[in-house]
Amino acid sequence: MRWNGFARSLGFAAVAGAGFLPFAALVADLRGVGPALALYATLAVAVYAAGLGASLRRGLAAALLAAGLATAGLLLATTVREQWLLVGVALAVCRSGVLYRARPARALVAEVALVGAGLWLARAWFDGSALSGALAVWGFFLVQSLFFLAGGVGERPEAAEGDPFDRARERALALLNR
């Protein structure tokens, strides 16, 4: 299943937010709601990145990258806030660095704005309870859905197979035939 559009991404936000409640019931007793929320955010961003890919292969590659970066955040960060920040950076790198293409300045501004606003909203809604954690996750991914409303974004094309010389020759012949 893919959530590479505004409406689908909104659906993912709702499911991810609702999914935190059972996750928190299972995990929060071990270390608390805040660390459970950071772990859930790591998992949710990996699943979100998987659904953003144009193909299953690209989605899984992005999910592994997001999970790796976010897990490094879990291991290196000392506070839940730092962990969430690194989860947001992992999403931004996967989304604008790997899966979608846009002008570099536009991608940087969009990712800083979306990740920053999503983290701000999640922090504003989280008060330490499991319900507020679900709202924080929903709010974060709700803001991330706005990525698809901005113009100038396209999926990165798959890497072409075959000999580079043959591909260049075919492009040259296509230009000559115009």
Indicate whether 23 pLDDT > 90: yes
Question: What is the pLDDT averaged over residues 65-91?
Answer: 87
Question: What is the pLDDT averaged over residues 30-36?
Answer: 85
Residue range 106-124, pLDDT digits in tens:
888 888 999 999 999 999 9
User: Would you state the pLDDT for residue 140?
Assistant: 96
Provide the residue type at 41 as one letter: A
Question: What is the pLDDT averaged over residues 91-98?
Answer: 86
Q: Domain ranges in the chain?
A: 6-177
User: Would you state the pLDDT for residue 103?
Assistant: 78
Share the mean pLDDT of the chain: 86
User: Would you state the pLDDT for residue 132?
Assistant: 94
pLDDT band for 152, please (50, 70, 90 cuts): low
Question: What is the pLDDT averaged over residues 51-60?
Answer: 84
Question: What is the pLDDT averaged over residues 34-52?
Answer: 91
